[in-house]
Structure 1
Amino acid sequence: MTDLKPFSTLLLSCMLTAAFTSSYAQEASQPENPALKIYRATPTKVNDLIHTKLDVRFDYKKRYLYGKEWVTLKPHFYPTDSLRLDAKGMDLKNISVVKNGKNIPLKFNYQDSLSVAIHLDKVYHNNESYTIYIDYTAKPNELKQKGSAAINDAKGLYFINPDGTEKDKPTQIWTQGETESSSAWFPTIDKPSQKTTEEISMTVPAKYVTLSNGRLASQKTNTDGTRTDTWKMELPHSPYLFMMAVGDFKIYKDKWRNKEVNYYLEPKYAPYAKEIFGFTPEVIEFYSKTLRVDYPWNKYSQIVARDYVSGAMENTSATLHGEYVQGTHRELIDAYFNNGRSTIVHELFHQWFGDYVTAESWSNLTVNESFANFSEVLWAEHKYGKDVGDEHNHDDMLAYLRNPDAKTKDLVRFHYADKEDVFDVVTYQKGGRILNMLRNYLGDAAFFKGLNIYLKTNAFKNGEAQQLRLAFEDASGLDLNWYFNQWYYGAGHPVLNISYKWDDAAKTQTVYLQQSQDGQTFKLPMAIDIYSGGKKERHKVWMNDKADTLTFHLATKPDLVNVDGDKILLAKKTDNKTIDEFSFQYFNAPLYMDRYEAIEAAAANQKEKPNQKIIIAALKDKYYGLRIKAIKALNLTNDDIRNAAQPVLTSLAKTDDNTLARAAAITALGKLKAAGNLTLFKESLNSESYAVQGAALTAISLLEPAQALPLAKGFEKDNKGALTAAIFNVYAANGGSAEWPYIYNTFKSSTIQNKFNSVQKFADFTGRVEKPEYAQQGIEELKAFGIKYKMYGAAQFAGGVLQGIKTQRTQMNDTASATAADEAIKQLADTK
């Protein structure tokens, strides 16, 4: 599953929950869930899947799939006369065993509509296979299955705009198998520990194209206006990785070495296929060489679907992406690594870690998702430089550290309430950081040799964390039980306090290290770099206890003692350096995090000259991410800062080669409300970048609100991203009924993240808009928002803003809207 960035669905859920619960009183602590006491064993293997053959067609009107299946199995070890298949919410019309080309009906029990118990015709042994024929109808829209923060629905099969009634939305069908939802569209043993080859024949309207795993083996045109496409996957993979997609897609054909690499996009995005996905062959080559295991499947396709229920899904040889990865040329100007491209490389790495070798249970999901998360850093530093990789690594660590519940969860998790719960910041963001630390500890050569051993040993099979440990130990010759025990089978992270003392008489530098977290003491190998006399000396040390004292004998007081010199530790650190030491660190230590930490320290007190020196210098940092950080940190109410920063900001706003840095500089200048910048802002409206245009429009609205409104009108026909948000904000602040349709339609069609960002302004506008019918549209949309995202606390949040709207509409003598708000509040209360 997706890394869940740039919207990380997982991370987003944490952000939403935090935001809603910080705005409103948190509910009382819930009693411990008894499900957390249950040991989640790897499912027992009674029968093994060998081959799955499907013949399916679709009823768009009913939202049904009519399927015929031939599934070949054999007993895993012990003889058996029974078979249990997962089959969720289906009509099972016929289940037979195939003997000499004939179907012999079997007895079966399907009382719970979740799995079917089949009585075989005889006792089978593990040296003989058998084939079961099933005639069935899948009814995904009638299935009630729980999703998760990562995968917000579990129907398995999705009909998108099947009647063609939704304007500007294509008609599509696609599947989502993870975690165990493939069994909502075909009966199977829906466990990651199963592997099967596959053949799928799809009969679809002839105007549509199809995509599935493996190769397109044949296409047959039928006399009724349909076409039957047959796809074959001749290498074994897990059922949750089966996929189908049907719709009006344009296919851009690319290649890696002698293998097909294809991109499936809606026609309007087809011209930008190369810009969106064109770097894919380069990534395949890099991963193949790095892992010394060539891309293992016969093709790689990527398809973008509407209304996808997660970020993306690594279906074997056929990844399905949510809409956010695609864009026009203008949108992609602002799309740096974190905007979709990190997802593209994440899903591609899964073709090795997750598809080629698959987690043997959801408890060991780390061997799928932690690796895919780690791969984002791996690619970023290779392609864009170490600063980009380090920023990505740090952002993910913060996502983990900011989640208050994460510190209580093991990475390998044998106790959970629901398998969906394992898809979280521990498995993704923390797990990726743990791998990056291990890479640093072992060194690249040993680390990647370990990955090679793990992949080759478990190819087309299943893996778990212990096999990973053995592979790394084999490669390095080191015992790693201590590392896996504390990071994989334990919870939490070190909370590390670092302080220093220089004794001039004894010429000794003392470093005090203190871990203050509850629970286990972490064993921490680290580098300490001492800068003195124009030289850097590295000391490799171990912190083995909750408190350690390290002493270094030096000729003179050092300019800097840099603990965790590689800036690799997964820890919440408090580093008690002086601002002069942080200043030295900014200008002399090499890494992104060295400069980041110095900027953080300087931002806290910008009245002091050393702090100002760091902040102003950072405006010209070599990495745009730190330039942006410095811009956002500026305290422009301080005269010294403002006077020093303003000419730099003006230069950045005009000439920075990064559009996001330009936009940040314009945003900062806009807050000054200086009339002399108006020309710069208006010129910036001509930029090709939506981010720059959005920042400029916002800056003009702060300086000349009356001018901003007609300027915003001029962008209504062509706006995306930051410019859309800027128009929305200008209208929300200064618009009236004439601007309501744009506000309403923008909010209604927004992604969950954008809805979250704009919900308060939308509510404010709903409360004051002149026309009652518009107010009632807004009330209905806020109610829908609260209900749809109630799992994140949105029902409570929406109820609160609707209470404010009710008061406003009452004051405006709009009884109908006040009543509508009151009814919506009651309905939201019932959903909690």
Structure 2
Amino acid sequence: MKQFAFLGAFCLALTGAGAQESAPVAEVPKVFRATAEKVNDLVHTKLDARFDYQKSHLLGKAWITLRPHFYPTDSLRLDAKGMDVRQVAIVRGGQNKPLKYTNTGMELLITLDKTYSRTEPYTIYIDYTAKPDELKVEGSAAITDAKGLYFVNPRGEEPGKPTQIWTQGETEATSVWVPTIDKPNQKTTNEILMTVPAKYVTLSNGLLIKQTKNADGTRTDHWKMDLPHAPYLFFMGVGDFAVVKDSWRGKEVSYYVEKEYASVARGIFGHTPEMMTFFSRLLGVDYPWSKYAQMTARDYVSGAMENTTATLHQESAQQDARELSDGNDWEGTIAHELFHQWFGDLVTAESWSNLTVNESFANYSEYLWSEYKYGKDAADDHNMSDMQGYLMSGSEKKDLVRHYYRDKEDMFDAVSYNKGGRILHMLRNYLGDSAFFKALNVYLVNNRFKAAEAHNLRLAFEEVSGKDLNWFFNQWYFGAGHPKLDINYSYDEAAKQVRVIVQQKQTGDKLFQLPTTVDIYNGPNKVRHKIWVSNKVDTFTFNAATKPDLVNFDGDKVLLATKTENKTIAEYAHQYKYAGNYTDRREALDAAARRQDDAAAQAILLQGLSDRYEGLRAYTVSRLDLRKDAIKTMAEPQLARLSKSDPKRGVKAAAISKLATYRKAEYAPIFRSAVSDSSYTVAGNALEALVRVDSSAAVAEARRLANTKMKGKLAATVTNVLVQAGDPAAAAMMITNFEKLPLGQAKFEGIKPLTDLLGGLSDATLFRRGVDAVVKFMGEIPAAYRDQTTPFIEGLLGEVQKQQDAAGRKASAQYVQEKLAKKGF
């Protein structure tokens, strides 16, 4: 499962860029969340599914083969949420013999026809109707809904929106649409027959083994999965998709996209075969399944989901060619879900408490892929972003392996994802690449087609490395928090010694053991010293004939920690030039950005504008304080250069925005040229810049572009320019664009411009439509984030109400008030 990309952005937007202190933690029930007891084991599940589009029902017939796990049993408990059950029977000699059962609304409690031993498999037949829209269940921050089976525009009532069906099983929602033992420590093979209108295509686990055309205009597709996997990974997808075929070592790789994206499907997903080769080689275990397909879905309740052989992606994955020119924003998610096919699908967390063995690995795969494909700077950029996501999440009191939680859905958070991935990065650094990846191989081989927990992972690392790692796992996996380090450097001229004093300043009694390094630089020459930090205060001394140019703690920059250091700007300049990895350079740029009146700091920023990595060039642009004359003068020629000729569009876009603040007409040709750039971001930023130097030209360009296909930054900017110019169609355009955006970061960022528009809008019909769109979005925000976001958006709507009231539009002001009162989240 990949979370919504915007989950951390809500907090960032509302709290600012500083690290967030631990938020108050709700009372957690003192109930130990044990691994589910296994009384019966799933063996095979066969489902015959037909769909009632008018009622959003599934008409199902299921044959479920089981056997007692160890002890003999005469009863069976199946999860079956919100179903109407017509018959439960035991299958004997090809005949269905009715059994006694109780349907609680959430479970089927079945009395078997006899007592079965663990050597006696048996098959249960169930005839039922699944009614997902009539079931009330709670989702999570990562998975906003848990009704399992979703009908999208089933009656065709929403113009322009496709009709689709898709499922979402994690955590325990497969049992909304097929009776099962809905626990992650169960493994079963399965086959699914779907009868659908013949115009649609289907997707499920495993291989499509048969298609049958029916006389009523439907078609029955028969999918079969021959290898066992957990029930939450079962999948059905139905819709009017284009299917773009690829391959990997003779296995089908396919991309299911809406037809308008067929021409760019390979641009979105085309690295998948290369990823499969890379991960197979890295892990020493070839991709284990019969095929790999990826499907996009409208109204999806999360970012993406790793259903075995059939990953489902949110519609945001569908980017057109111009969006892709900025870089594929979804590529990390594609890697994340593919890696789950090993970590989560082949070997599955035995309980939600141990979610780390699924999600932390998938999170870290994004780093691994980026490192392999785009280089270490890009990977370390991603690492820092994910680390900040954890540090700002207020999760210091949460263990990674968590046996106490309010609800299993709460496990899908910045600890299981971001922090867990950073912990793996530290372990890799400590053990070395050879041992780290060999241990992953041992873990996968020893536990394939089984469920596992963090201790299985520890044992694999210990087996390979020969090291006892209880200290590491107790500290990072079975404990909470992170170190907060204060690091001071000094040089004793008389003793010819460097002194490094490290204080752990986190609250509480917990002290971390941190194997790390101290690098001592004289010019470009580096001497590395390995150390262990383990006390409240540790003092380390190293011989040095002369005062070093730089002493650099955590030389590889892998520690999950906050750090305060007493380095001078001259030392940071040396760090930028000679220490050289992404985080070293980023730390130096941050130090320089805090001291922009200092000539040495200005020199560092000037270097940053020509950094070898595009991410740091763009970051440096963003940190320039052009209110300072020296910075403004120094940066201008560099910004003009980047605006005209930087090969990376992200840098070009950032530079254009910054250059616009000079408000010089001489830069109008740069902006006019860039308005036609293939990148929506570059073009949008250029149009914004053109407004500042030639507003009439900007309006003319906006009117020209309004008749073309636009998305992203360009669409937002064109609309804003036309709104400011008083174009009567612009308000409708802005509202329509907002309505079309899927739930995500772009939609969140569109709230403020939309409410700014609504404040002065006189068209009552458009006004109400815009308010409705904002209120609808508020209701779609994951429940875990509503406490943070709702007051922010309500405040914006409150300003809209005041502006409408002040303009004498009392009915519109009253409409806002009524909508807020009725929002009913």
TM-score range, shorter chain: over 0.9
Partner of 2:323: 331
After superposition, the Cα gap between the structure-2 partners of 1:790 and 1:226, relative to the gap in structure 1 and judged at 3 Å, is closer
Uncovered stretches (5+) of structure 1, i.e. residues with no partner: none
> Structure 1 residue 277: deviation in Å?
1.1
Partner of 1:700: 690
Instruction: Name the SS of the counterpart of 2:750 in structure 1.
Output: helix
| Residue 452 in structure 1 maps to residue 445 in structure 2 | no
Instruction: Please give the per-residue CA displacement for 1:301-355, whole angstroms capped at 9, x wherever unaligned.
Output: 111111111100000011111112221221111124xx10000000000000000
Instruction: Name the SS of the counterpart of 1:150 in structure 2.
Output: coil
Write the distance in 2 (CA, Å) between the matches of 1:30 and 1:534.
47
Write the distance in 2 (CA, Å) between the matches of 1:31 and 1:344.
33
| Residue 47 in structure 1 maps to residue 47 in structure 2 | no
Partner of 1:237: 229
Write the distance in 1 (CA, Å) between the matches of 2:616 and 2:238.
43
| Residue 753 in structure 1 maps to residue 748 in structure 2 | no
| Residue 474 in structure 1 maps to residue 463 in structure 2 | yes
Write the distance in 2 (CA, Å) between the matches of 1:826 and 1:328.
39
Instruction: Please give the per-residue CA displacement for 1:54-113, whole angstroms capped at 9, x wherever unaligned.
Output: 0011111111100000000011111111101001111000000011111011111113x1
Instruction: Please give the per-residue CA displacement for 1:385-434, whole angstroms capped at 9, x wherever unaligned.
Output: 01011111111000000112x11100000000000000000000000000
Superposition pairs for residues 116-515 of structure 1, below 5 Å?
116-336=108-328, 339-404=329-394, 406-515=395-504
One-letter code of the match for 1:755?
A: K
One-letter code of the match for 1:546?
A: K
Write the distance in 1 (CA, Å) between the matches of 2:25 and 2:270.
50
Q: Indicate conservation of the 8 Å contact 1:705/1:734, yes or no.
A: no
Q: Indicate conservation of the 8 Å contact 2:28/2:404, yes or no.
A: no
Q: Indicate conservation of the 8 Å contact 1:57/1:202, yes or no.
A: yes
Which moves more between the two structures, 283-292 or 732-741?
732-741
> Structure 1 residue 363: deviation in Å?
0.2
| Residue 85 in structure 1 maps to residue 75 in structure 2 | no
Write the distance in 1 (CA, Å) between the matches of 2:635 and 2:28.
57
Write the distance in 1 (CA, Å) between the matches of 2:412 and 2:56.
29
Instruction: Name the SS of the counterpart of 1:416 in structure 2.
Output: coil
Partner of 1:640: 630
Which moves more between the two structures, 454-463 or 533-542?
533-542
One-letter code of the match for 2:476?
A: W
One-letter code of the match for 2:269?
A: F
Write the distance in 2 (CA, Å) between the matches of 1:644 and 1:238.
59
Instruction: Please give the per-residue CA displacement for 1:640-680, whole angstroms capped at 9, x wherever unaligned.
Output: 22222111111111111101111011011012211211111
Write the distance in 1 (CA, Å) between the matches of 2:560 and 2:48.
49
Q: Indicate conservation of the 8 Å contact 1:694/1:723, yes or no.
A: yes
Instruction: Name the SS of the counterpart of 2:479 in structure 1.
Output: coil
Partner of 1:99: 92
* Matched positions, count: 816
TM-score when scaled to structure 2? 0.97
Write the distance in 1 (CA, Å) between the matches of 2:111 and 2:139.
32
Write the distance in 1 (CA, Å) between the matches of 2:73 and 2:302.
39
| Residue 738 in structure 1 maps to residue 729 in structure 2 | yes
Instruction: Name the SS of the counterpart of 2:84 in structure 1.
Output: strand
One-letter code of the match for 2:134?
A: E
Partner of 1:720: 711
Instruction: Name the SS of the counterpart of 2:661 in structure 1.
Output: helix
Instruction: Name the SS of the counterpart of 1:274 in structure 2.
Output: helix
Write the distance in 2 (CA, Å) between the matches of 1:727 and 1:422.
41
Write the distance in 2 (CA, Å) between the matches of 1:104 and 1:466.
44
Write the distance in 1 (CA, Å) between the matches of 2:775 and 2:208.
45
After superposition, the Cα gap between the structure-2 partners of 1:732 and 1:38, relative to the gap in structure 1 and judged at 3 Å, is farther
One-letter code of the match for 1:695?
A: N
Q: Indicate conservation of the 8 Å contact 2:522/2:548, yes or no.
A: yes
Partner of 2:808: 813
After superposition, the Cα gap between the structure-2 partners of 1:762 and 1:260, relative to the gap in structure 1 and judged at 3 Å, is same
Alignment partner of 1:663 out of 643, 648, 653: 653
After superposition, the Cα gap between the structure-2 partners of 1:22 and 1:609, relative to the gap in structure 1 and judged at 3 Å, is closer
Instruction: Name the SS of the counterpart of 1:506 in structure 2.
Output: coil
Q: Indicate conservation of the 8 Å contact 1:61/1:163, yes or no.
A: yes
Partner of 2:62: 69
> Structure 1 residue 533: deviation in Å?
5.0
Instruction: Name the SS of the counterpart of 1:408 in structure 2.
Output: coil
One-letter code of the match for 1:635?
A: D
Q: CA RMSD in A?
A: 1.7
| Residue 801 in structure 1 maps to residue 801 in structure 2 | no
Which moves more between the two structures, 759-768 or 581-590?
759-768
TM-score when scaled to structure 1? 0.96
One-letter code of the match for 1:493?
A: H
One-letter code of the match for 2:540?
A: L
Write the distance in 2 (CA, Å) between the matches of 1:529 and 1:625.
25
Which moves more between the two structures, 524-533 or 415-424?
524-533
Which moves more between the two structures, 771-780 or 628-637?
771-780
Which moves more between the two structures, 785-794 or 348-357?
785-794
Write the distance in 2 (CA, Å) between the matches of 1:91 and 1:769.
49
Write the distance in 2 (CA, Å) between the matches of 1:407 and 1:93.
49
After superposition, the Cα gap between the structure-2 partners of 1:335 and 1:735, relative to the gap in structure 1 and judged at 3 Å, is farther
Uncovered stretches (5+) of structure 2, i.e. residues with no partner: none
After superposition, the Cα gap between the structure-2 partners of 1:32 and 1:384, relative to the gap in structure 1 and judged at 3 Å, is closer
One-letter code of the match for 1:184?
A: V
Write the distance in 2 (CA, Å) between the matches of 1:484 and 1:353.
18
Write the distance in 2 (CA, Å) between the matches of 1:534 and 1:744.
57
> Structure 1 residue 735: deviation in Å?
4.0
Partner of 2:576: 586
Instruction: Please give the per-residue CA displacement for 1:40-64, whole angstroms capped at 9, x wherever unaligned.
Output: 0111111000000000111111111
Instruction: Please give the per-residue CA displacement for 1:691-719, whole angstroms capped at 9, x wherever unaligned.
Output: 11011011112333443333222222321
Q: Indicate conservation of the 8 Å contact 1:732/1:761, yes or no.
A: no
After superposition, the Cα gap between the structure-2 partners of 1:183 and 1:543, relative to the gap in structure 1 and judged at 3 Å, is same
Write the distance in 2 (CA, Å) between the matches of 1:647 and 1:610.
19
After superposition, the Cα gap between the structure-2 partners of 1:45 and 1:345, relative to the gap in structure 1 and judged at 3 Å, is same
| Residue 612 in structure 1 maps to residue 602 in structure 2 | yes
> Structure 1 residue 282: deviation in Å?
0.7
Partner of 1:770: 762
Q: Indicate conservation of the 8 Å contact 1:108/1:116, yes or no.
A: yes
After superposition, the Cα gap between the structure-2 partners of 1:790 and 1:121, relative to the gap in structure 1 and judged at 3 Å, is closer
One-letter code of the match for 1:824?
A: K
After superposition, the Cα gap between the structure-2 partners of 1:665 and 1:20, relative to the gap in structure 1 and judged at 3 Å, is closer
After superposition, the Cα gap between the structure-2 partners of 1:147 and 1:684, relative to the gap in structure 1 and judged at 3 Å, is same
Which moves more between the two structures, 584-593 or 343-352?
584-593
